[in-house]
Structure 1
C-alpha cells in the first residue's frame, strides 16, 4: 500500500497529540485512539509498505536491552547529522567517523568524552539526547521516551525514514552507526502486552534539506495473527493514507530532572509504552550502568531522567564505560591498568584489546556482568559479548584465569576490521556473533593473547596463592577414604587421569624490587637485546618476537588523555603489541606471499601529542625460508601421555574465604587443576550441609566427611565436562548448587538403606 502525505490537519489532531504525550500506559494510549475513532484498520498503513512484515519485527534483538540501545544510537546519529547540516558538510565533506564528528561539531577532543569536564559532559547531554522514564513505578513496566535535538524528519518523509524497512537512508554516511534501517522495529515487540504501542514525533531541523514547517507524528501497533495467519502484522497510524501533522513552533517534549518539560523547536521523540526492560530499579541505577556498558564509547553523552516518584537521583549522565573507567575507576582498578594492546587477526588489521582487572575487594557489579565479561565493540557500541566462562575455562578457546575471571573486564574494539568481515562476524541486530570460523579464530587469538599477558598472569597467580593459603587442608581420613574410592571406581580413576593432563600456567616473572612506576612521557625506547641496531630474522610461514624496554607507564598507549602512539615498520607486519612494566613486546608476522630473502628496515617509534622529538629504535628484518613444523613442535598439541592416578587435594573453604572462589551459601565446590596438581575447594559452610549438621549434631563430623567425598568426586567430573565444553561453567555451577541442596540427605539415606539390607 502506497502512503501519500503532506495534508494539513486542524485542532483535533493537536488534541490527539496532546493525549498521546500525556499517556504513559498502553491502556491510556488505546483509550486515546479509540475515543477519536482511530483504532479501525482503515486509519492504519502497513509498516514499511509491506503487509507481511512480522518477520522483520520479530527477528531483531533477542533482548529488550539491545533493542532499546538501538533507539539511543539512532538519536546519537540524528544529533551528529544535525551538526553536519549546520556546518554544510553534507553531502560533500562529512567527517570520517562519529568521533571525528563529535570533535568537529561539539569540540570533544578526538571524540573522547574523558577529555572534557563532567560539567561539560552534562551540559552537552542536556541539549543532545535524553532517555526519560515515566509511568508506573516498580514493579510495573516503565514507559521510556528517547528524545533528541537532532536532524528530525518531515511528515512527508516518515514512510521513507521512521516507518520504512531496509531503506538506505544512512548507508553512505561514514559518521553514523545505524546502517540497517531496522532500529525502529526491534523495540516494538517489547512494548506493552497487547498492542505494542510506540509513539513517534518529529520535526525537521531548519538547516537540513526538506520541509521543516510542521511536526509529524504517528503510532506504531501490532495486530496479533488471525486464525488464517502465521505472524503478527505491524502498522502505523496514517488516517486517509497521510501522516498526521501539527503546525506549531515548538512542542513541550524535552524533560527536565527538577521541573516540567521544556519546549523545543525541532528533533524527534520515540516513546515506548510499558517497556519490558529487565532492569527493575530506578533509571539512574542499573539501567544507566547497562547503557554505559552497551555504549562502551559514545561520542555524545546521554541524559537519563527519572520522573517516577523517586525522591533522589532524578538524573544521570551516560558517557560510556570507557569514559567512566578513565575518570572514576582509579580506586577500583588494579595498579598499572587499564591498558590497551593490539592484536592482528590473520590477514586483517589490528583489533584493540582493553584490559581492565578490578581489585579483589571492588564491587564489580557496577562495572561488569558475568554474561558480558568480554565486550566486542564497533564504533564504540557493543555488538557481541562473551561470558565469564571464556575467561575461566582452559584450552585453545579459553584463558584459564579462574581466580582473576570474576573481576576482569575485556573490551575488544573491532572498528578497524574490514567492513565485510564486520558484516560477516556480527549479526545486524548487534547483540551477538555468528558461529563461524572467523569467530572461532578471533576467540582463539584473543585467548592466547590474554593467557600470555604478564600483568594478568601475575594477578591470577597471586590470587591463587592467596586462595590456597586461606583454605584449610582436609583431614588424613578424607584423603584415605578418597584413595579407597578411586580404587573401587574405574570411572572416577579415568576422570582423574584426564585431569592430571591439564598444563600448568606460566608463573609471574621473577623480577624483584619495587613495583614499576613509569613516566607519563617516556625518555627512552631501546632494544632489550641486540645493541643499538637489531638484526632480526623471521620465517616466511611463522612469526617472530621483538622486545624493547622503555620507561613509559603501562597506560601510555591506552589512556584517553595525551595518548601515546606506537608506530611499527614494516607496516602491516605487527600481529600483536603489549606494553607492561617497561617492556614493549611486539610479534611480527610476514604477510602471506612474502618471499624468503626479503630484507626490510625495522623501526619502532613512540610519539605523543605535543611531542618534540619521537623516540625510535632501528634495525633490520630478514625473511628466512619457511620453517618445517616438526611433530609436537610449538603450535601443535603434544600426544597425551599416561599419568598415574592421584587423588585430588581437598581443601576446606569457610565463609570468610567465599570471595576467593565466588562462593555463596548454596555453592558446593570448585576445582583447580594447575601446576600438575588437582585441588578441590569444598564449601564447608554450604547452607544444606550446615542445616543437616544442625539437625543431627552427634553425626556432624560423619556428615561432613560424607559431604566432602561426594562433593569432590562430582566436582572433578563436572570440571572435566566444562573443560571439554560439554557444558558451560555457569550451567555447571547452577546444577551443582541444585544438587548440593539434597546431596547430604540423599547420600545419607542411600547409605542407611544399603546398611539395612546388609549390602
Structure 2
C-alpha cells in the first residue's frame, strides 16, 4: 500500500475500531519493527499519563499548540528568527506585531469568523463514539522534523521562544490517555512555505504481548515509521473535512474515540462553551465544527469562539448585571488583575431556577467559579465553595464568576501555583496565600461584591418572626442545662433573659448624624473630572499612613462603571512616584532610590463604582516612619488625561484598640431569625413574596417548604418559611372548616416544627463535622453540597410532611374544634 492510500484510510476511519481493522488487515506494514517509542524513551508511559486530569483541558493544550504554530508561522513569514532578540517577547506583543489593526476587528462577527478558520476543531465518528480532528494553518513541519517536534517529550524545542505558551512538548501528549482504549492519534503536517512533502504517523499505546504481561512490564506509547522513516507523499491540497477550505499546509491531528465527559453533545454548543471557559482570553479565535450526519436536526453546526471574557463583556450582554475589577501590586506575588462578573438573578422570561440553570450551563459548564489564567489560558480554578466559604457571599454562589490574571505575577511565585500539566492548582503555600489575599480583598465591606450581597439581602428583609419569643416558648419546660440546649449553645449564642434593663429616660439622646444628600449618578462614557478626597494645605493634598496598616484613598469622578473593563475604548488609572524623601534622621542603612511606587507600597486599584474610585496603599517593610512620598494618580481620558498630585507621610503604627464584645472567630452566633414568605402580597403589609426571593436567586414555589440563608458555610442567618407550601396546605386540609384558633395553632405548629427541625439538623450536621455531597447525573464524582441546600432538599421531599403528621397535631386540632 502506498503512503497516500494508507493515510486516506486512516483519516477516513471514524473510530478506533476502524483503525484496528486497518492495522489487522495490513500486518506487513504495522509489524513490530515499524513502531518506535514516543520521545525515544520506552519509559514514556508515566510522562504521558501524568498530564491533564480532564479530557477538555487536554484538548485545550492541542489548541494552545495550534495558536503557537500560527504565531510562529507569522514570525517566520516576517523574516524573524522566533528565538532571536527581534522576536516578540510575549503573546500579546506577537498578536499586535503580526496582526496589527486586524486583531481589533475580531470582535466583529465576519472578521472573527474569517480568522477562526485558521484553527478548527472538527467532529467525526458518531454521537456515541466521537473522534476529534484539530487543524491549524500554522508553521507545519517537514516529515524529518516530526521526531523533534510532534513526537518528542521534554525536548524544550520552544523554550527560547517567548511568545508561545507551550515550551517542552509535554502538554500536547496529554490527550492521548483520552483517545479510546487503544490511544490512537493520527498526526499529519506540511511546512507552511509549501516546501517538502506531506508527512504523517500514527501514535498508540503499545499492546503488551503475553510475555510482556507475564513479566509485569509497563507499557509505553509508540509511533509508526515505515522503512525507518516517517511516511510521506507529495500534495497540492487535500479534502480533510475542514470547514470552507482544503488542506494545503499546516498541521492536522485526529484523536480517535475521544472520551468526552458525560453529557457532551454537539461541538458547536457543549464543546464550544467548555473551550471558551478554558481559553478565557485566547490570542486567536477558533472554530468548532460538527456535521449533519451526526446531528441532522441541529441547525447550528459551525460556531466560532474567542474566549469567555469577550462573551461576558460584549455590549448589551443579557446575562451580566455588573463587572468589577481590581489591579493589585503586592510583595506576595507581584502583579495581577482580578475581574468579577455578577450575573443577573432572573433572566428575561425565566424564573429563578430556569435562570440559574441557563447561567450555569452557558458559563459554568466545568464548575469553575474562580479562574486562574496565564496568557489567557486557564491553569487552575476554585469551585463555588470559595464564594460561600471564603467570601461568605451565599446569594452570589451560583451567580459570580471571578477571573484572576496571573500573567504578570513574579515567576517564582507563579511556578508554585500551577501543576506542570497546567490544568490545576498545587495544594501549596502559595495557593493558600493567594486564596487568603483574594478572600480579604474581595470581601471588604466597601467591595462592590459585598455591596451587591447586602443590597440583595436587604431586598428580602421584612419584619422577622419573633424568634426569641418562639425560643422561650420552646424552652418553657426545658432547663437550660438540658442536652438539647447545650447542643444549641455550641453553635448559637442564646440570650433567653426575660428581664430587660429599664430605660434611662434622663440619658441624653444621641444626635442623629446628618446624612449627605445623595444626587443621582449620571455616568459619562469618558471622565470630565477627577478629584481626590483629602485635606489640603496651601493647595497641597496630603495623607498620613500609619506603618503596618492599609489606607484607602477615594477619588470622585463621573465615568461609567465599566470604563476599565469594556472592550471598546477602555480607560486606566495609573499611579506614579514623583518624589521620595526618606527620613534620614533615624539613621540605618542607606536605601537605594526607588523608581516606582510599587517598590514602596502594596497597591490595590479598583474599578469605578457610581462615581467613586479607590486606591489602597499598604507600606512595605522597607518603608520607614517619617518617610515622605509624593505621588501622581492619572485617570486616562481622550485628549488630556486627568491628574491628582498628593503627598504621603509614613507615621508611627497605631496603637491597637481594645474592642468590647467583639465576636471572635469561632464564637457562637446569634439565633437565626425566621421570615414568613407568601406567594402574593397581603394588602399593605410588608411581607416577603416568592417573587421577591426569586429576584435574589432564591427559588420558592408550592414544593418549597423553607430556605435557610447562611453567611459563609458556618453561619445560619435566616430561615425563610413558605406559608403557601403544598405541605402546609395539605396539612390544613385535613381539618374541615377550621376556626380561627385552629388556624393559628396550625400555623404555630408549622412554623415551630420547620424552624426547630432546621435549627437542630443544621447544628448537629455542623457540630459533628459532616461534609455532604450528592451524585449527579452525567458526573463521575459526587458534587459537594452546602448544608443549607441539603436541608432545603430534605424538607422539600417528605421530611416536613413527616414532622407535621407524626406529632399528635391532628388530635390537638380536633380537640380545639370540639
TM-score interval for Structure 1 and Structure 2 normalised by the shorter chain: 0.7 to 0.9
Determine which of 259, 262, 287 is the counterpart of 1:276: 259
Distance in 2 (alpha carbons) for counterparts of 1:428 and 1:373: 22
Q: Is the 8 A contact 2:494 2:671 kept in 1?
A: no
- What displacement does 1:522 show? 1.0
Query: 2:644 aligns to what SS in structure 1?
Result: strand
Q: Which residue of 1 aligns with 2:505?
A: none
1:468-617 aligned at under 5 Å gives the runs: 468-469=461-462, 480-481=473-474, 488=482, 489-497=484-492, 513=518, 515-531=520-536, 532-570=539-577, 571-572=597-598, 573-578=601-606, 579-608=608-637, 611-617=638-644
Match of 1:233 in 2: 220
1:197 matched to 2:184? The reply is yes
What is the alpha-carbon distance in structure 1 between the residues aligned to residue 17 and residue 668 of structure 2? 69
Task: Please tell me whether residue 649 in structure 1 is matched to residue 674 in structure 2.
Answer: yes
Aligned position for 2:290: 306
Change (3 A) 1:483 1:582: farther
Q: 2:336 aligns with which of 341, 348, 351?
A: 351
* 2: CA distance, partners of 1:464 / 1:747: 29
2:373 pairs with 1:377: yes
Q: Which residue of 2 aligns with 1:730?
A: 785
1:618 corresponds to which of 627, 632, 645: 645
Q: CA deviation at 1:695?
A: 12
Cα distance in structure 2, aligned partners of 1:568 and 1:576: 11
The CA deviation string for residues 291-341 of structure 1, in whole angstroms up to 9 with x for no partner, is: 11111111110011111233410110101111112225533222xx32322
How far residue 712 of structure 1 moved from its aligned partner, in angstroms, is 3.2
Displacement of 1:717 in angstroms is 4.4
Segment drifting more, 591-600 vs 422-431 = 591-600
Q: Is 1:650–1:712's contact at 8 Å kept on the other side of the alignment?
A: no
| Deviation of the 1:367 alpha carbon | 2.3
Q: CA deviation at 1:731?
A: 5.5
- 1:712 match: 759
| Cα deviation code 1:235-271 (max 9, x no counterpart) | 1122344222122222222512xxxx73222111111
Q: Any idea what SS the aligned residue of 1:73 has? A: helix
TM-score (norm 2): 0.78
Are 1:105 and 2:132 an aligned pair? no
Find the counterpart in structure 1 of residue 581 from structure 2. none
Cα displacement (A) at 1:705: 5.9
For residue 95 of structure 1, report the CA deviation from its aligned partner.
Answer: 1.6
Cα deviation digits, residues 635-691 of structure 1 (max 9, x gap): xx96469779646426458776467455586896423359x983123567889x689
2:705–2:800 CA contact under 8 A, matched in 1: no
Measured after TM superposition, the shift of residue 737 of structure 1 is: 6.7
Shift of 1:433: 1.1
1:180–1:428 contact (8 Å) kept in structure 2: no
Cα distance 1:515–1:195, how it changes in 2: closer, same or farther (>3 A)? farther
C-alpha change, 1:512 and 1:78, in structure 2 (3 Å) is: farther
Give, in whole Å, the separation in 1 of the partners of 2:258 and 2:147: 24
| Secondary structure in structure 1 of the residue aligned to 2:522 | coil
- Contact 1:574–1:589 (CA<8 Å) still a contact in 2? yes
Q: Alpha-carbon deviations, 1:71-104, whole Å to 9, x = none?
A: 1111111111111111122233112221222222
User: Corresponding residue for 1:297?
Assistant: 281
Q: 1:670 aligns with which of 708, 720, 723?
A: 708
- Quick check: 406-415 or 455-464, which moved more? 455-464
Who is 1:143 aligned against?
131
Deviation at 1:348, TM superposition (A): 3.8
* Number of the residue aligned with 1:4: none
CA distance, structure 2, for counterparts of residue 52 and residue 694 of structure 1: 72
Task: Measure, in 1, the Cα distance between the counterparts of 2:54 and 2:46.
Answer: 16
Equivalent residue number for residue 6 of structure 2 = 16
Of 91-100 and 433-442, the range deviating more from structure 2: 91-100
- Superimposed CA distance per residue, residues 595-624 of structure 1 (whole angstroms, 9 cap, x where no aligned partner): 33322221101225xx33221100112223
Shift of 1:55: 1.1
Structure 1 residue 375: Cα displacement: 1.0
In the aligned structure 1, how far is the partner of 2:246 from the partner of 2:79? 26
Structure having the higher Rg: 2
> Out of 66, 70, 75, which is 1:79 matched to?
70
| Structure 2 counterparts to residues 40-119 of structure 1, below 5 A | 40-90=31-81, 91-92=83-84, 93-108=86-101, 116-119=107-110
> What's the CA shift string for 1:542-580, capped at 9, x where partnerless?
332222111222222222222212211232135201132
- The number of aligned residues is 710
Question: Offset of 1:52 from its aligned partner?
Answer: 1.9
Aligned counterpart, 1:155: 143
Query: Structure 1 residues 344, 405: CA separation in 2 closer, same or farther (over 3 Å shift)?
Result: farther
Alpha-carbon distance between aligned partners in 2 of 1:459 and 1:163, rounded to the nearest angstrom: 52
Q: For residues 501-556 of structure 1, what are the alpha-carbon distances to aligned partners after superposition, in whole Å with 9 as ceiling and x for unaligned?
A: xxxxxxxx987656533222212222112245321222343332222111222222
Answer yes or no: is the 8 Å Cα contact 1:131–1:144 preserved in 2. Answer: yes
Residue in 1 that maps onto 2:656? 630
User: What's the RMSD between the two structures over aligned residues?
Assistant: 3.9
In structure 2, the residue matched to 1:465 is 458
Partner of 2:201, secondary structure, is: strand
Please tell me whether the aligned partners of residues 599 and 623 of structure 1 are also in contact (alpha carbons under 8 angstroms): yes
Q: Which moved more, 1:236-245 or 1:376-385?
A: 236-245
488-497 or 732-741, which moves further after superposition?
Answer: 732-741
For residues 661 and 721 of structure 1, the distance between their equivalents in structure 2, rounded to whole angstroms, comes to 29
Structure 1 residues 106 and 180, CA gap change in structure 2 (3 angstroms): same
Unaligned regions of 5+ residues in structure 2, if any? 348-354, 496-513, 578-596, 680-689, 737-744, 775-782, 812-818
Between stretches 700-709 and 39-48, larger displacement belongs to: 700-709
Once the two structures are TM-superposed, the CA of residue 170 in structure 1 deviates from its matched residue by 1.4
Residues in 2 aligned to 1:245 and 1:694: alpha-carbon distance in whole angstroms? 81
Does the Cα contact within 8 Å between 1:472 and 1:652 map onto a contact in 2? no
Residue number among 203, 216, 221 corresponding to 2:199 in the alignment: 216
TM-aligned CA deviation for residue 749 of structure 1? 9.9
TM-score (structure 1 length as normaliser): 0.84
- Superimposed CA distance per residue, residues 172-219 of structure 1 (whole angstroms, 9 cap, x where no aligned partner): 211111124212221111111x21211111112228xxxx41111111
Q: Which residue number in structure 1 is paired with residue 413 of structure 2?
A: 421
User: Is the alpha carbon distance of 1:206 and 1:749 closer, same or farther for their aligned partners in structure 2, counting shifts above 3 Å?
Assistant: same
* 1:281 to 1:468, Cα distance in 2 relative to 1, 3 A: farther
Q: Distance in 2 between matches of 1:725 and 1:59?
A: 29
User: What's the CA shift string for 1:157-181, capped at 9, x where partnerless?
Assistant: 2121111111112112111111242
Secondary structure, counterpart of 2:415 in structure 1: helix
1:243 aligns with 2:230: yes
State the shift of 1:495 in Å: 3.6
- Which runs of 5 or more residues in structure 1 are unaligned? 1-10, 501-508
CA distance in 2, matches of 1:478, 1:628: 43
| 1:123-152 residue CA offsets vs partner (Å, 9 max, x unmatched) | 1111x1011112112xx1321111000001
User: Aligned with 2:604: secondary structure?
Assistant: strand
The counterpart of 1:288, out of the listed 263, 266, 272, is 272
Within 5 Å, which residues of 2 pair with 1:386-425? 386-393=382-389, 398-425=390-417
Question: Cα gap change, 1:497/1:599 in structure 2, threshold over 3 Å: closer, same or farther?
Answer: same
Deviates more, 1:415-424 or 1:740-749: 740-749
